[in-house]
Amino acid sequence: MKLTRLTLLRSKTDKVVEVALLVYPDCQIAAIHCLTDLFRIANDWAAYPHEDDRHCRIRVTHWQLNPASGRIECCWDSDPADAHQPAFAIAPPSVVMPERMSDMPREAAWLAELHGRGVIVCSICAGAFVLAQTGLLARRRITTHWAFAELLSRTCPDAHVASENIVLDDGDVITAGAILAWNDLGFLIVDRVMGANVMLATSRFMLSEGVRDDQRPLEGFLPRLDHDDDAILEAQHLILSTPGINHTIASLAGISCLTERTFIRRFQKATGLNPANYVRQVRMTKAKDALRLGNRPIALVAKELGYDDVISFRKAFQNVVGMSPAAYRQHFRTK
């Protein structure tokens, strides 16, 4: 889509809202470029006559630590003639795991300073760990990639990590979930700046669903097996290999040669889940695979996974996945 004459004329009169993208060590450069393109497309659509025309356009800037000066400086600008006044600042995803991410005191200080000036600070996926270094996440509901939720909870013990959400908008702080949630955050910003009409037009042009609200249907389950408790590891392997058996605490504790009370305590410590929740997560992971890849009736899938009746299975699936088994199969089934 090319800039029209109307776009060029309006660019001189529209209100400019600057979105600053932080380029930090090992960040996902693709997210930087994709957000830049998303906002450019939104600007083009905003130039067409529509209801709720807010006469706004988004200016995109990229910011990076300059080793020579020790300051975070602008390294790319879609409107280089204007002075900087960001309204949003975004820490994008990382291409390395959070535990391998560098400490970023200067980047964190820059984000905190912007926040103190009224800028809305945002993160995507592991970018939440950059935002965590600012201290701004305390006592907030935040989200990140579902696989990083536990580590973020330990990193920010005063925050509530709600990894079931794809985007959590806390007004002055916005966090987004997995690595492709730049899409959802970008549309949320377009909606806030330009209105729903431009956001929907942009999302349709990009063949996207717009801002999604639930990460649970897309979550996987990562059974923590890298601990040193061999007794608990044996119980985990049994649960993983026989998800259709209704294991009791007594039977699992017996296999582990532990008392029931000790087994529950050590299982929680080793896996981060109590035994009942662990079994439920294993079963729901198997259920999602069966619904997505196979044709077996839902009642049969429920029976194979140890549920005596399909109603109990549907209820458990809805609670864990956030949608019914039938809706999940319809949406995610492999063609």
What is the per-residue pLDDT across 183-231, written as a single tens digit (0 to 9) for each?
999 999 999 999 989 998 999 999 887 777 777 777 778 788 889 899 9
The whole-number pLDDT of residue 1 equals 47
Looking at this protein, which amino acid is placed at residue 308? D
CA dist 315 and 64 (Å) reads 48
Q: Give the pLDDT mean for 98-109.
A: 97
The whole-number pLDDT of residue 223 equals 84
C-alpha torsion sign, points 23, 25, 31, 37 = positive
Looking at this protein, which amino acid is placed at residue 83? A
The whole-number pLDDT of residue 10 equals 47
The whole-number pLDDT of residue 9 equals 44
CA dist 153 and 27 (Å) reads 21
Report the SS3 class of residue 3.
coil
Q: Please report, in angstroms and rounded to a whole number, the separation of the first and last CA atoms in the chain.
A: 32
- Token look-up 């801002």 returns 211
Convert the pLDDT of each residue in 71-89 to its tens digit: 999 999 999 977 999 999 9
Looking at this protein, which amino acid is placed at residue 167? V
Convert the pLDDT of each residue in 262-286 to its tens digit: 999 999 999 989 999 999 999 998 9
Q: Give the pLDDT mean for 136-148.
A: 94
pTM across the whole model: 0.75
CA dist 125 and 285 (Å) reads 22
The whole-number pLDDT of residue 154 equals 95
What confidence tier does 55 reach under pLDDT thresholds 50, 70, 90? confident
Checking if the pLDDT of 176 tops 70, the result is yes
Are 124 and 183 in contact, with CB atoms under 8 Å apart? no
Checking if the pLDDT of 6 tops 50, the result is no
Structural domains in the chain, CATH included, are: 5-218 (3.40.50.880), 230-332 (1.10.10.60)
User: What secondary structure letter does DSSP report for 273?
Assistant: S
The whole-number pLDDT of residue 23 equals 99
Order of strands across the sheet that contains 86-91: 71-77, 56-66, 15-23, 86-91, 120-124, 173-176, 167-169
Within the chain, strands assigned E span: 15-23, 56-66, 71-77, 86-91, 120-124, 141-142, 160-161, 167-169, 173-176
Q: Give the pLDDT mean for 235-253.
A: 93
The whole-number pLDDT of residue 66 equals 98
Are 1 and 7 in contact, with CB atoms under 8 Å apart? no
Phi, then psi, of 33 in degrees rounded to 5: -70, -40
